[in-house]
Amino acid sequence: MATIKDVAKRAQVSTATVSYVLNGTGAVTEATRRRVLEAVEALNYHPHHAARSLRSRARTLGLVLPVGSPGLADPALAELVAGLVEGAAAPGYCLLLASAGPETLEAELGLELVATNRVDGIVLLDPRVDDARVARLVAAGAPCVCAGPPGAPGCPALGYDLEGGAREATRHLLALGHRRIGLIALPSDLAASEPFTEGYLQALASAGLAPDPALVVEAGTSEDAGITAMQELLALPEPPTAVLAAGDALAFGAMHALRDAGFAVGRDLSLIGMGDLPLAAHTDPPLTTLRAPRRALGQALARRLALLVERRAGPAPDAPLRLPLIIRRTTAPPPTRWEGLGGQSTCSLLG
């Protein structure tokens, strides 16, 4: 493992200069700063945050946004950030938002913020399976929390009850009489994908239905991905009579695909989203969806991170937040027969 002396030797500076750069103190030229940071990156040097934080704290929590993020223009993110600000303020912390640039990875920026003592800990969004960001922050001794599964030693996860939410939504469709229920799933590398899919499968199993792999389409997270996924489901020899989408944006895209194909959402095919974005109540027809308490999640994440920074155990880990089902007008009993384009019967959709 590289030491501060190794970094100083490679950058051809003193160890004091390395400390100045990493702590954001002292007068250091931009050329020297860049040389030190290049040496830090080349040697994969991680100043141990835990030892440094005993001396001083920035009283600031950090949130790193990915490249291309719309930032606060995204209503879902804006609500989460509002909760983070409120949760951080209660124990006397501020929130720093940082955006990764095209040439900077999220993990690198998060480590730099911690290493330079600009933040005391990091909130991670959209964790992935075997997330490298988590591993690197934990290795550096930097407090961190994940907004969603999975947790890891040293980096707890707080999120929604995705399994329970998907199970409740699928049961709602089953109760309406649907038996061929499709799922537009998140990318499998996102940690949230597996529990949501598992809840859907559990509901089918409890109704005595064997899952049909053709009815599960892995998509992205955008409206365009929802359009493509819905088109794939409609192209099946026997399409679903109802679809559960793992995000409202996916559901919005699915609605576009259905309208383009000449079908009426809610009458010809039932649809459920996830998240309850502000637009969900104003689509035509209004979208049935699982409501994500984003503000409450932000508050819980900030509280937990502040406790980690202060090395206090605090109360028991927060339970996953429930996703209540908001029933609007995109779900109804299945039609006895689905009339396809041009008035031709495409399939029998007996409930």
pLDDT for the residue numbered 334: 93
CATH code reported for the domain at 1-45:
1.10.260.40
Ramachandran region, residue 50 (left: φ > 0; alpha: ψ -120 to 50; beta: rest)? alpha
Query: Which residue intervals of the chain bear CATH 3.40.50.2300?
Result: 56-158+293-322, 162-287+328-347
Number of H helices, E strands in the chain: 12, 13
Q: Which CATH superfamily is domain 56-158+293-322 in?
A: Response regulator (3.40.50.2300)
Cα 250 from Cα 253, distance rounded (Å): 5
Cα 128 from Cα 134, distance rounded (Å): 9
Helix axes 294-309, 75-89, angle to 10 degrees: 40
DSSP 317: P
Cα 147 from Cα 130, distance rounded (Å): 15
**One-letter amino acid for residue 132 of the chain:** A
> For residues 33 and 21, is the Cβ–Cβ distance under 8 A?
yes
Cα 275 from Cα 297, distance rounded (Å): 13
Level-2 CATH architecture, domain 162-287+328-347: 3-Layer(aba) Sandwich (3.40)
Read off the tokens for 180: 């061929």
Cα 257 from Cα 303, distance rounded (Å): 41
Query: Which residue intervals of the chain bear CATH 1.10.260.40?
Result: 1-45
DSSP track, 58-105: --EEEEEEPTT--GGGSHHHHHHHHHHHHHHHTTT-EEEEEE--TTS-
Read off the tokens for 57: 């704290």
Cα 252 from Cα 114, distance rounded (Å): 38
> For residues 64 and 49, is the Cβ–Cβ distance under 8 A?
no
Cα 250 from Cα 223, distance rounded (Å): 5
The one-digit pLDDT tens for each residue of the chain (351 residues) are: 677 788 888 889 887 787 777 765 566 787 888 888 888 878 877 665 544 444 467 899 999 887 777 888 888 999 999 999 999 999 999 999 988 776 667 777 888 888 788 899 999 988 888 888 888 888 778 889 999 876 667 788 899 999 999 999 999 999 999 999 999 999 999 999 999 999 999 999 999 999 999 999 999 999 999 999 999 999 999 999 999 999 999 999 999 999 999 999 999 999 999 999 999 999 999 999 999 999 999 999 999 999 988 877 665 667 899 999 999 999 999 987 654 433 434 443 333
Q: What is the helix, strand, coil percentage profile of the chain, to 5?
A: 45, 15, 40
Its pTM surpasses 0.85: no
Cα 257 from Cα 202, distance rounded (Å): 28
- Label the pairing between strands 94-99 and 121-124: unpaired
Radius of gyration for the chain, computed over Cα atoms and rounded to the nearest angstrom = 24
- Residue holding tokens 């949501």? 196
Read off the tokens for 281: 């109540």
Cα 302 from Cα 88, distance rounded (Å): 5
Count of other CB atoms within 10 angstroms of residue 51: 9
- Residue holding tokens 């005993």? 54
pLDDT for the residue numbered 56: 62
Read off the tokens for 79: 């609500």
Ramachandran region, residue 304 (left: φ > 0; alpha: ψ -120 to 50; beta: rest)? alpha
